[in-house]
Structures are given as structure tokens and as C-alpha cells.
Amino acid sequence: MGLVFHEFCHAIVADILGDDTPRIAGRLTLNPLRHLDPFGTIMMLLAGFGWAKPVPVNGNHLRNGPTIGMATVAAAGPISNFVMAALFALPVRYGLVQYLDPSLLSRYQFENYVALVCVDVVLINVLLGVFNLIPLAPLDGSRVAVALLPGELGRFFRQLEPYGMGILFLLFVVSTMTPLNILGMIINPVYAAIVEFLLI
């Protein structure tokens, strides 16, 4: 749900801003088959993380220009994840369903299962949103950083774009295979603050 809605929002914002590339590519839909990447989906099932197919966008067709336009399209993805997280947090936050720890499954009633699903949707979508805002290509945060940061700082992130995937891979390897969890240090404080704000 989170991945599909994320990519759909990229597509619809690009379409609104005047680029029909996503429409031509058949990406203005919530049909998962149009968005999910086969290998990314397999990785999601096997490794617990995955990805969808990037939405094709032509920045030169966007009404507010390629830099601001691409940043707007990019920002739509993480924003969609935060919106979805906020909507699914409402029933738990306002006591419409009761969340119980999964270790208490034997005591679960229907409302507890609903709450469990809601909390999982919140956690996954907040993680997707925060991760995608890391300012490294091909993540959405890279486009946002290039557009919003002034002068040399913006140019610095633009120059990093060709190396973004390699840097991300290195960060992932270091974070998972050594005690130095750099990605965790970047993501966890923001992730925890947003989850607490939404659910408590």
C-alpha cells in the first residue's frame, strides 16, 4: 500500500504540473501491478525491504520548471506516506480500536487485529517517508535538497547525484554488518518522533 500510493502520488503531481509522461506510461493508477518492481517485490518478501518502479517524469515539461518541479514531484512521495500514516493512526490515537502487544495474541479480539494492522501501516509508512527524505539520489530527498538548499550546498547535493546509489549501498552495508549503524542514527530519531506524535 505504502509503495503503490507513494508512486501514484509522484505520478499524479507530475500530471497536475503538466507532464503527461506518467500518464503515457500507465502510472496514473493505484493498480499495484503498474507500480511494483518484480525484483523489489521479491526482496520485500524475502528480506523485509524492497522498492517499486520509479515513475518516469520529464522535468522540462513541468510548469514550475525542472528544479522546483522535480522537487515538488519528489516531495509528493514521502508526503503521501506521512498522510497515510496519519490516517491509519487516527483510530488508535483516539481509542476507536485498542492496540495490544503482539505477544498477547491469545487475548486478541477483532478490534485488536484492526489496531495491529493500523499500527503496522503507520510504522511502515513513516519509515518509508523518512528514509526517502535522505538527500541522496535516487531517493526523493535528493531532489528536494537540490531545490531548497541555497547556493553551494544545493550544488553539492547535485554533484553527489551520480554517486548516491553507491553511497547508499555503502551506508547500508556498514549499518547492517558493523556496530556503526549510520542509517539508524540518521533515521531513528526522526522516525521515533513522528511515530510518537501520530500515535500517542
Beta bridge partners of 52: 36
Q: Among 14, 84, 17, which residue's Cα sits nearest to residue 54?
A: 14
Catalytic residue at 196? no
d(CA 7, CA 12): 9
Considering the candidates 7, 111, 152, 196, report the single residue annotated as catalytic.
7
- Rounded CA Rg of the chain: 18
> Active-site positions?
7
